[in-house]
Structure 1
Amino acid sequence: MEVWNSSEAVVSTFILRGFPEWKYIHPWLSIPFCLAYLIAFVGNVVIVSVIWKESSLHQPMYYFLSILALTDLGMSLSTLPTVFAVLWLDAQEIQASACFAQLFFIHTFTFLESSVLLAMAFDRFVAICCPLHYSTILTNSVIGKIGLTCLLRSMGIVLPTPLLLRRCHYCHVNNLSHAFCLHQDVLKLSCSDARINSIYGLCAVIATIGVDSLFILLSYVLIFNAVLGIASREEQRKTLNTCASHICVLLIFFVPVIGVSMVHRFGKHLSPTVHIVMADIYLLLPPVLNPIVYSVRTKQIRLGILRNSGLRRRL
């Protein structure tokens, strides 16, 4: 096997193909993307500002929600520059260093979202299973440490991926499949031995999304077990209702993630458009829908939004 030295392993640019089959309608295609990014930006900024201003929302559940909103903002802003560069300016070329930086942020915020969803599941578990100790377990200090741990964990796990990609030699045409850089998309262009990269990428996903999903499932098994022990049907309904928004957000995040994984593993015969659309849904759906879910389903958030917008309505 031929071994490439590190000086040969550096590629200068990649080409973001974006939406090749729809290139002739890029100006029209930019309209739904503009709308999606606008909803994501405004929705998450509103959630954070309302929680910041409303003293009644200074509780662990809403602190975690504000961290989720900031994560969604980071995720959407990570892809926005290159998506609109492709759609508006037809600027498909991206420097390798910028590409590696972008995929670092995209994957960091993806793993961070998974971690924050686990923290929110833990919050619901403590609130329902240990209500008398809720305020003593989830203090402001503990919440801050949980948030910092989630961030450092995500960054630490993702950091080796761009460093490993820089050592690869790219001898094929450097056309990427999307309007942004993803680890697997860049890796498939390498003609070096990429087994270490592939194994590390798989281990990173298992250590984050895989482990988080198992602990979230365990949390809800314990929550449902505790709820079933409540005698009153009405109390059961009210207790489960406090978890409804979080369950919706879990589905919004994990269903597209599973869909992307299935398409990547078993959909190689599918049209490239399917892969492109699935990746866009996976990265855009949570930032767009999460603030809508919490605004619609959480009365305290709705009241806070109405108060801060100057509206007065009885809900």
Structure 2
Amino acid sequence: MEAFNLTSSGLPTIILNGITGLEAAHIWISIPFSTFYIIILSGNFILLFVVSKEQTLHKPMFLLLCMLALTDIGMSTSVVPKALCIFWFGFKRITVDGCLTQMFFLYMFAVTHSAVLVIMAFDRYVAICDPLRYATILTNSRIVKLGLMGLIRAVLLILPLPLLLRRLPLYAKPVILHTYCEHIAVVKISLGDTRVNRTYGLVITVVNIGLDLILIGLSYGLIIRAVLRISSKEAHQKALNTCTAHICVMMMSYTPFLFTAVMQRFGQGNAAHVHILLANLHLLVPPMLNPIIYGIKTKELRDKVGKYTCRM
């Protein structure tokens, strides 16, 4: 079968088919996609603007919210603009380098997002279990360093994905049945031995998500143990309110991802459009709801947002 190699010159483009099976409805599907994306950009940029303007919000928790907002914007922007080009104009072609670049940034932001959730769990642990030392343990500079470590980890973990794919030849007319360059989808249009690529993709999922969930679970285990030692019901409620927003964001982030990952590898009998829609919603719904959840649950942030809103 005719093939081309990713390292050769004059490469043909890859076709992103969009939502396979629902091509006739692309225009209608673009309405919620574009609406969600506008809300994502608006909500997260408002959060970033308010935190940057208000000196009283220059605290570790709000720095973490800004990091979360940046990863949410990055993940959705890696995917949605190209998807809308497919839906609106039928621009399905993407260069090989463009495909690998999209893949890198999508997964890099996703892994960084997971790292931020781990740091936020540690932040909640210190706030509840060792509140008197909170200001000395979690300084702004330390939070920034932890965020940079999460970013570096993400780059080191994800960079091999496109590099490993570049060594493989692709089909002469490669078509990806998706709206974006998902790793396993690109592997499926590759010729040759893809065991290394599949194994490394699985290792990243298990090691990264597995390790992060273990660290988050450990933090909340210690939090629960500390809360149970407190006899006051009012203190129990206060501790629960402190963690509610993070728990909601964490559940929205990990549950769809794990469900999509399982369907991707073991749900071959499901309709293609179901998997594609779920994969896209995973990149749209949590980034849209995250600033709303924290805006509702965090009084200090809610008051500052209200102050700027009243000025408009």
Instruction: Please state which band the TM-score falls in when normalised by the shorter chain.
Output: over 0.9
Structure 2 CA distance for aligned equivalents of residues 304 and 5 of structure 1 = 54
Q: Which residue is equivalent to 2:301?
A: 301
Deviation (angstroms), 1:236: 0.7
- Contact map agreement 1:9 1:167 (CA 8 A) in 2: no
Give the 3-state SS of the residue equivalent to 2:303 in structure 1. Answer: helix
Aligned residues: 309
Q: Does residue 15 of structure 2 align to residue 15 of structure 1?
A: yes
**Do the aligned partners of residues 178 and 293 (structure 1) sit closer, same or farther apart at CA in structure 2, a change above 3 Å counting?**
same
Q: Which residue is equivalent to 1:265?
A: 265
Q: Which residue is equivalent to 1:40?
A: 40
Deviation (angstroms), 1:6: 7.3
Give the 3-state SS of the residue equivalent to 2:169 in structure 1. Answer: coil
Structure 1 CA distance for aligned equivalents of residues 202 and 29 of structure 2 = 33
List aligned pairs for 1:158-173, cutoff 5 A: 158-171=158-171, 173=173
Structure 2 CA distance for aligned equivalents of residues 6 and 239 of structure 1 = 53
Q: Can you list the C-alpha shifts for 1:42-82, whole angstroms capped at 9, x where unaligned?
A: 00001111111222222111111111011101111111221
Q: Can you list the C-alpha shifts for 1:246-268, whole angstroms capped at 9, x where unaligned?
A: 00000110110111012112210
Structure 1 CA distance for aligned equivalents of residues 176 and 275 of structure 2 = 12
Unpaired runs of at least 5, structure 2: none
Structure 1 CA distance for aligned equivalents of residues 290 and 5 of structure 2 = 46
- Contact map agreement 2:125 2:219 (CA 8 A) in 1: yes
Give the 3-state SS of the residue equivalent to 2:39 in structure 1. Answer: helix
> CA RMSD, aligned part only?
1.8
Amino acid at match of 1:295: G
Deviation (angstroms), 1:173: 4.2
Q: Which residue is equivalent to 2:76?
A: 76
Deviation (angstroms), 1:196: 1.0
Deviation (angstroms), 1:22: 2.0
Q: Which residue is equivalent to 2:24?
A: 24
Q: Which residue is equivalent to 1:156?
A: 156
- Which moved further from structure 2: 239-248 or 172-181? 172-181
User: Normalized against structure 1, the TM-score is what?
Assistant: 0.94
User: Normalized against structure 2, the TM-score is what?
Assistant: 0.95
Structure 2 CA distance for aligned equivalents of residues 165 and 32 of structure 1 = 33
Structure 1 CA distance for aligned equivalents of residues 10 and 174 of structure 2 = 12
- Contact map agreement 2:22 2:273 (CA 8 A) in 1: no
Q: Which residue is equivalent to 2:219?
A: 219
Q: Which residue is equivalent to 2:238?
A: 238
Give the 3-state SS of the residue equivalent to 1:170 in structure 2. Answer: strand
Unpaired runs of at least 5, structure 1: none
Q: Which residue is equivalent to 1:100?
A: 100
Q: Can you list the C-alpha shifts for 1:223-258, whole angstroms capped at 9, x where unaligned?
A: 011011111011111111100000000011011011
Amino acid at match of 1:71: T
Amino acid at match of 1:14: I
- Contact map agreement 2:295 2:301 (CA 8 A) in 1: yes
Structure 2 CA distance for aligned equivalents of residues 196 and 274 of structure 1 = 28
- Contact map agreement 2:7 2:166 (CA 8 A) in 1: no
Deviation (angstroms), 1:11: 5.1
- Contact map agreement 2:6 2:96 (CA 8 A) in 1: no
Deviation (angstroms), 1:124: 0.3
